Amino acid sequence: MATDARVKELMADELEARAPEKFAEAGSNWPKKMMGFFFPENEDTVDLCVLAVLDEALAEDGTSITKKARDNVAKLIKTSTKASDAVKIIALTTLKPIPTS
Amino acid sequence: MKRLIVCLALCLMGTGRSFAADPTAYLRTSDGETYYVAVSVSSWRLSGGDVKDPAALLKKLSAGADPLSKYIYSKLSAPTLELIAEFAPVAPPKGKLQKALAADLNQILADPSFYSPSRFDGVTLRKETADLLAQNPHGEARASLNRMLLDDAYTVEIAQNSSLPPLWQGADVLKRIVASMFYKGRLVPITIEPPDKAGAGYDLKISFADQTILKDGLQDLQIAVLQYPISVDKTSGFSVAVGLEITSAFTLNFGNCVEGFPVEVALDPTLSEKTYGQKRLQDLKKHLEDALHDPKQKPTVQIQAQTWPEPVKWDIRSHMQFFGDAQRVVPCYLLAKDPPTGTFDIAFDYGANAPIELRHPFFKSGVENAGHALTPGSLDTGDVGARALEQNLDIGGQLSSSVVDEKETDANGTDVAVRKRENVGTLDLRLAPWLNVLGLPEPGTKTFTFLTPFLIDARVSTGKITKDTLSLNRIAMGPEFEIRHYTDPSTYPSYQRYIFGVKNASDRDFKQAEWKGTFEFQPVFSALNHPLKFRTKSIDPKLDPDPDHDTNDVPITIGFGQQVLPLVGVEMGKTYRNKHPFAAIEQMNFVRRFYFGTTINLDFTSYVQVSVKDILYVRGEAPQDRLHNYFLGTISTPFPSFNRSIGSTAYFAFERGGQPPFAKADVNTVKFGYRIQWDNWFGKRR
């Protein structure tokens, strides 16, 4: 159950490590950039980045999600997705199902 | 009217200084139906402006002038220390540094172990501080005590906030408060009460009997605290809007809610005291759950497709999943029947009797399921059966004009070769309904695997098949498996593609057929992979009045990009049908080929791409005709896309040389055509 703020930090770390030039160019405006700004025209590298953030967030929580949910994250986040939306999608995906009464 | 209220409040303000943190007012309920307003005023928290003399404070902290300064400095966060390092004492500190210091100090004050006798050795405490310290308070009261201690230690550097005990310390203090509540400018009768319990996180409770004022939401509600004690002999005042501690809205689809409509009901992240909000969150979750089975409370859903003149009522399923944690509850609503295709708007309404946090309209516009558009990056009209396949449907039509050698008998009765031009129309089709049925890389790995269970790669032409038109009349079909490993998954990635296939290849009329196993290796090097489309520039939308607006990142249209894509491959198999072999097709029972080459794509602008491909084939099946070179040069220009999933390109190409199955005369053709690519069908991308 990573918070949006924590996922944002993890995303910033990954982007800085994987696309340092683009991250520096975006500066503090990076959440407003599309993932394709950092990884243009390549859905694979976007997937590798967002899955690394998701896996890291889940590891910090000491939890896991289904393979289908993990695949869905990569399906939902594309080169045309804003980085801030990617952060939100990952944070929501780390939420646990709550039992209904 | 709001102006009048604010004026009224400000005019009646005392001569005291402003509050340390902005006062807040939140609507609460204890029974789900009777609401009251909780007002927080004398927060112990610091805002940036409360660090009154940051230069002096920094001097004390960084020098470790006393045990407390030493302790505080050791607790500062790394970003704040970075800002301190950048701070030049000759210039006034930036607001950013003041804010960072205040944020760190707030963290430190929240720690119940902030006070220790040795740490405050030498600090003169006021009587009220010493009195409160003797009571050893907990919770919010402890944090207030810590702020009083901080004020006593840094009387000049920090704005003094806490010369008055918290309001729950005595009813006498409460009597000094004068407050009013206004609804659309009309005075609402209220009762001012102390908070429910000491340290509950707010300073006064404003109760009101007329609950109908909430029917339109909170935007028309205003609190004016005309007199509020800020020290023993001073008062101040303020005006504040009433808010909710819980927000609710449609949110983005996420991993566990892809097809549904998730609604996020969440605590305001800026809240310092979350006890009420967390309990309220559970009440709301119960309401959302019960509402699904109660027709009177079930949310009304309306959908309007882009082409519909009126919205249509839609039903939702009675069963759904909830996701969440201590901060939020996210129900994932599923529609009872599929929404309309294309783009549509959707609205939820929980009704006028729903809890106030859910009473506002929920609206989401422009909902669509379209995927990403893969505009053709390079035009690869090469060898049928060995071409990149990254769209579900890739269809093109072209006119080819080729030069062929024909034997004619001259006047002397001698056979002579005569060059003739032949024009044909060709349909170029690549179809793979499921591009990939495999999943994504496992955690920690950088290797993708793709399995395309069935694909058709065909090129069929008008007219009779001859040896000169054989390469324009081939149909290959079968599964394909690819391992794609990234050694450098950066902006300009380096990766290797290992593509395995089993293909059935035949001529257009299925008169000669072969099966073959294929393997191709395509390394992509970062240094050689900088196409123009990878580059963007930021355009500032100057008409947008929001100072915090986004910039638009658009592809650079003028410039130069390059992409060098080497490849090497083998094909091995057997000819299994040879019933009526064409003269053009060489008789052979097996297939054994090795090839290597390079494709170079050059972007001169984003509108014109020149692609050059050269491949050398080494034929194991024909020792007497072992080497064939194949060259393809293409100039292409993208046309406007039909929609997000369909792109199109016009191209002009020159093709020369031999390709499998290698007719005796090489191809020598000029072509121009139009190509449509369509993705986002079934399965995953490739």
Q: Report in angstroms the alpha-carbon separations of B629 from A14, B256, B402, B466.
A: 45, 52, 17, 20
Tell me the angle at which helices B54-63 and B67-75 cross, rounded to the nearest 10 degrees.
Answer: 100
Nearest to B235 by CA among B14, B82, B80, B418: B14
Residue contact B491–A88, C-beta within 8 A: no
Q: Do A96 and B323 touch (CB under 8 A)?
A: yes
Contacts of B557 (CB under 8 A, 6+ apart): B605, B606, B607
Residues in A 34-63 with any Cβ partner in B closer than 8 A: 34, 37-45, 47-49, 51, 54-55
Residues in chain A within 8 Å Cβ distance of B274: none
d(CA B517, CA B130): 87
Asked if A42 and B484 come within 8 Å (Cβ–Cβ), the reply is: no
- Would you say residue B217 has pLDDT above 90? no
Share of chain B above pLDDT 90, in %: 31
The helix or strand, by DSSP H or E, that contains position B554, with its residue range, turns out to be strand B552-555
Question: What do you get for the CA distance between the two ends of chain B, in Å?
Answer: 60
Report the distance separating Cα A93 and Cα B252, nearest Å: 10
Judge whether B586 and B661 are in contact, CB under 8 Å.
yes
Q: What is the nearest CA distance from B649 to chain A, expressed in angstroms?
A: 17
Geometric angle at alpha carbon B204, from B200 and B210, rounded to 5°: 115
Burial B588-611 (b: 16+ CB within 10 A, else e): beebbbebbbebbbbbeebeebeb
Confidence at residue B566, expressed as pLDDT on a 0 to 100 scale = 94
Tokens for A31? 């959440």
Provide the whole-model pTM: 0.75
Nearest CA in chain B to A15: B490
Measured between CA atoms, how close is B442 to chain A, in angstroms? 9
CB contact (8 A) between residue A79 and residue B372? yes
Look over chain B and give the mean of its residue pLDDT values, rounded to a whole number: 81
Inter-chain contact B327–A75, Cβ cutoff 8 Å?
A: no
What are the chain A neighbours of B552 within 8 Å (beta carbons)? none
Give the mean pLDDT of chain A: 92
Q: Least CB-CB distance to B534: which of A41, A54, A101?
A: A41
Quick: pLDDT tens for B530-552.
877 667 777 777 777 766 666 77
pLDDT in tens, B161-210: 655 555 555 556 677 889 999 999 899 999 988 776 544 567 788 999 99
- Read off the pLDDT of each residue in B84-111 and give the average, rounded to a whole number: 78
Nearest Cα of chain A lies from the Cα of B295 at a distance, in angstroms, of: 18
The answer to whether A6 contacts chain B (CB < 8 Å) is: no
Indicate if the pLDDT at residue B376 is higher than 60.
Answer: no
Candidates B82, B96, B107, B252: best to mutate against A (most CBs of A within 10 A) is B252
Indicate the residue of A33, A73, A100 with minimum beta-carbon distance to B553.
A33
Q: Which residue has the higher pLDDT, B664 or B376?
A: B664
Residue A40: list chain B partners with CB under 8 A: 491, 533-536
pLDDT of residue B44: 74
pLDDT band at B411 (very low <50, low <70, confident <90, very high): confident
Residues of chain A with C-beta less than 8 angstroms from the C-beta of B323? 92, 95-98
| 8 Å CB contact between A44 and A79 | no
Q: What is the model's pLDDT at position B196? A: 66
Q: Is there a contact between A65 and B256 if contact means CB atoms under 8 Å apart?
A: yes
Query: Nearest 5°: phi and psi at B259?
Result: -90, -15
Identify which of B286, B326, B493 has the shortest CB distance to residue A45. B493
A10 vs chain B: nearest CA distance in angstroms? 15
pLDDT, one tens digit per residue, over B248-293 is: 999 999 999 998 999 999 998 877 778 889 999 999 999 999 998 8
Contacts of residue B269 in chain A, CB cutoff 8 Å? Answer: 3-5
Cβ–Cβ of B491/A69 closer than 8 Å?
no
Q: Do B443 and A78 touch (CB under 8 A)?
A: no
% of chain B at pLDDT higher than 70? 82
Highest mean pLDDT pick, B4-13, B294-303, B675-684? B294-303
Question: Rounded CA gap, B326 and B324, in Å?
Answer: 7
CA torsion B459-B465-B470-B475 (nearest 10°) is: 40
For chain A, report the end-to-end CA distance as a whole number of angstroms.
Answer: 21
Q: Which residues have CB under 8 Å from B660's CB, separation 6+?
A: B383, B385, B505, B571, B591, B593, B617
The pLDDT of residue B181: 95
Question: How near does any CA of chain B get to the CA of A73, in Å?
Answer: 5
- Could you tell me the pLDDT band of residue B4, with boundaries at 50, 70 and 90? very low
Residues of chain A contacting residue B535, judged by C-beta atoms under 8 Å apart: 40
ipTM more than 0.85?
A: yes
Q: In angstroms, what separates the C-alpha of A5 from chain B's closest C-alpha?
A: 10
Give me the mean pLDDT over the A17-23 stretch.
Answer: 93
